[in-house]
Structure 1
Amino acid sequence: MAVLRAHDRCALHPAPARARRADRGAFLPHAALPADAAAVRAGRGCDHRERSPRQRLARVGGRGDGGARAPGLLPVAGTPRDPRGLSVEAQDLAQYIEPRLYDIAYSWHTADIPFWIARAKQARGPVLEAGCGTGRVLIPMLEAGVDAEGLDLHPGMLEVLKKKAAAAGLAAPVHLADMRDFTMTRRYMLITIPFRAFMHLLTTEDQLRALRCIREHLESRGALVLNLFYPSLARIVEPGEEERVEREFAHPETGLPVTYVSVKREYDRVRQTLRAVMELRESDARGYAGAVHRHRVSLRWTYRFEMELLLRTAGFSRYEVMGGFDGRPLERDTDEMLWTAWKD
């Protein structure tokens, strides 16, 4: 979601040892879906509500835009609602991590993939991943034989995904679409939003639009599964001006050292948003500092009972939350919130 500026591609940076190593686990400010782009088909009618198949075909009772479109594809229109960018803005898309660098930054993160594959197989029906990015989760699902599709707002991410899938001999059915407002011809037994992608929705309105649209695309008794970090007090009151090493790992192609650094973090405790400046710092074969790639990311955190209200307001009457991918209960504010909501 970024086109790196000239100085980002070639600038040298002091050795990463200056940055303070995080005492806790790596902070992942990711999601495949970008944070802040021009409002997409805000809708002139009522928001997403459950409609009968006949109403959907007749375009009755839906978004009210009246225009036919191919499944998943949305024209971009409108302007940002808030000068602080608390809906999706094109300028933040341009500052997000470049697609070719995404897999470098997150190639090491594979611990959650067995969980998503297992849930997809248990669904016993079609699966849709919202915010599929470059296919970190979707491609392993396809390799496991899951009937899965993906959608993402960023075309560059999807191009990388398609190339990776083709290299693996896979057909990857993916759609350029926004999780807040999309239309598919199928209904799904499982819709997933892995890797905290839901946190890129920066307003309550956008969160509800996404949840309602997703619920509309679920089969009866189908489920939505997503994960979020719990907004612990220690996290949101920490000083954000000091550099912090989030992760050190080997480049997946060259084997050379790479350091992922959180340069700056701005916590808005009223709006419940985090805006972070991140750098991917490469080293050369001699161990000297090499290329530095900077990008920005914006997230909104959501509390447990706030999430319950969002799900209920969006029409989900049954849901549960766990404290991690191992199925343990949510008991600590350092746990990962793993939500499942069913369409009954």
Structure 2
Amino acid sequence: MEPADFYTGIVADAYAPLKSFSPDPDPYAAFVREAGAPALELGCGDGDPLLALRRLGLDVEGVDSSADMLERCRRRAEQAGVAVTVHHQRMEALSLPRRYRAVFLAGPTFNLLPDDSTAEDALRGIRRHLVDGGSALIPLHVPSPSPTDQIGRVRTATADDGAELRFSVVSEERDENLRTQTALLRYERHGNDDSSVLERPWLLHWYTRSGFEKLAAAAGLTTVSVTDENGDAAKDDASSTVFRLRAEPPPPGH
């Protein structure tokens, strides 16, 4: 997973040509069909795979913390002739009027939550928005340190108006105790009449398998399975995993 794969906010439109992550919609369509609708995609961004699922006729809504990305999603939906419902909220502070049979993330966006406390808040929000017995699908990733020769390396692309777009990782810090990796990203745009440079930190937070299972359990979610990116049972040291969780009914009297 490259940091640029999850570009957000004010760079969403200007740096769209640099986007390189577009999830295959098929596994998520299969999950929604199995778990049931309605469904909710967390971190839906500008509409991949949300719009593809809507084109299949599936009852799926989206939520994202970036108003700019959601506006881009709405424009794409309109251009494609697809009706879509999206909500502007942070996943750790979900408050939607509907409950769902399925909640999922279509990539390791959960790793963008900065610490375990925020992650538990998000998991509790997922549980509140699932019907009893509903399912959640959460991909997770343990990032590897960037190779030294990649620090400072510039990726380029050309915008629709001919401007040159540049992206680079300026520096990177990793804390094994906090399980965080923070990169300083630089976005540049150079046109005939103007140039702009934007720098921002990009924090990734990862989890141990047992640690994430404990967070999920505390939120009322039972781990049903943990698979790797090929759909097989994940090894304990797998760097990419997909957690399938189930919303447990509250104890009697609650």
Residue 342 (structure 1) aligns with: 246
Residue 330 (structure 1) aligns with: 234
Residue 299 (structure 1) aligns with: 204
Residue 252 (structure 2) aligns with: none
What are the ranges of 5 or more consecutive residues in structure 1 without an aligned counterpart? 1-26, 35-95, 285-289
Cα distance in 2 for partners of 1:119, 1:252 equals 35
Check whether the contact 2:93–2:121 (CA below 8 A) recurs between aligned residues. yes
Q: TM-score, normalised to structure 2's length?
A: 0.81
Counterpart code for 1:330: A
Counterpart code for 1:99: A
What are the ranges of 5 or more consecutive residues in structure 2 without an aligned counterpart? 249-254
Q: In the TM superposition, what is the alpha-carbon distance from 1:128 to its structure 2 partner?
A: 0.5
Matched, 1:314 2:222: no
Give the one of 29, 52, 67 matched to 1:140.
52
Cα distance in 1 for partners of 2:107, 2:14 equals 17
Q: Quick one: structure 1 residues 282 and 99, their matched pair in 2 at CA, closer, same or farther if it must change by over 3 Å?
A: closer
Q: Quick one: structure 1 residues 307 and 219, their matched pair in 2 at CA, closer, same or farther if it must change by over 3 Å?
A: same
Q: In the TM superposition, what is the alpha-carbon distance from 1:301 to its structure 2 partner?
A: 1.1
Residue 179 (structure 1) aligns with: 91
Matched, 1:273 2:180: yes
Residue 12 (structure 2) aligns with: 99
Cα distance in 2 for partners of 1:33, 1:185 equals 28
Residue 151 (structure 2) aligns with: 243
Superposed, 1:66-215 pairs within 5 Å as 98-101=11-14, 103-106=16-19, 108-215=20-127
Counterpart code for 2:140: L
Cα distance in 1 for partners of 2:196, 2:100 equals 43
Secondary structure of the residue aligned to 1:339 is strand
Secondary structure of the residue aligned to 2:87 is strand
Matched, 1:29 2:3: yes
After TM superposition, the structure 1 stretch with the greater mean CA deviation from structure 2, 180-189 or 204-213, is: 180-189
Q: In the TM superposition, what is the alpha-carbon distance from 1:118 to its structure 2 partner?
A: 2.1
Secondary structure of the residue aligned to 1:338 is strand
Secondary structure of the residue aligned to 2:32 is helix
Q: In the TM superposition, what is the alpha-carbon distance from 1:251 to its structure 2 partner?
A: 5.5
Check whether the contact 1:283–1:291 (CA below 8 A) recurs between aligned residues. yes
Cα distance in 1 for partners of 2:108, 2:65 equals 15
Matched residues, percent identical?
Answer: 26
Residue 263 (structure 1) aligns with: 170
Cα distance in 2 for partners of 1:291, 1:100 equals 14
Secondary structure of the residue aligned to 2:76 is helix
Counterpart code for 1:134: D
Describe the superposition over 1:282-303 as per-residue Cα deviations: whole angstroms up to 9, x where unpaired: 899xxxxx98765431121111
Q: Between Structure 1 and Structure 2, which shows a larger proportion of strand residues?
A: 2
Cα distance in 1 for partners of 2:100, 2:114 equals 26
Counterpart code for 1:314: A
Larger-Rg structure: 1
Cα distance in 2 for partners of 1:328, 1:184 equals 33
Cα distance in 2 for partners of 1:179, 1:194 equals 14
Q: In the TM superposition, what is the alpha-carbon distance from 1:270 to its structure 2 partner?
A: 2.2
Counterpart code for 2:17: I
Cα distance in 2 for partners of 1:278, 1:334 equals 27
Q: In the TM superposition, what is the alpha-carbon distance from 1:304 to its structure 2 partner?
A: 1.1
Cα distance in 2 for partners of 1:221, 1:247 equals 45
CA-atom RMSD in angstroms: 3.2
Describe the superposition over 1:107-145 as per-residue Cα deviations: whole angstroms up to 9, x where unpaired: x42353322222123232111011111112211111121
Secondary structure of the residue aligned to 2:216 is helix
Cα distance in 2 for partners of 1:201, 1:147 equals 27
Q: Quick one: structure 1 residues 166 and 197, their matched pair in 2 at CA, closer, same or farther if it must change by over 3 Å?
A: same
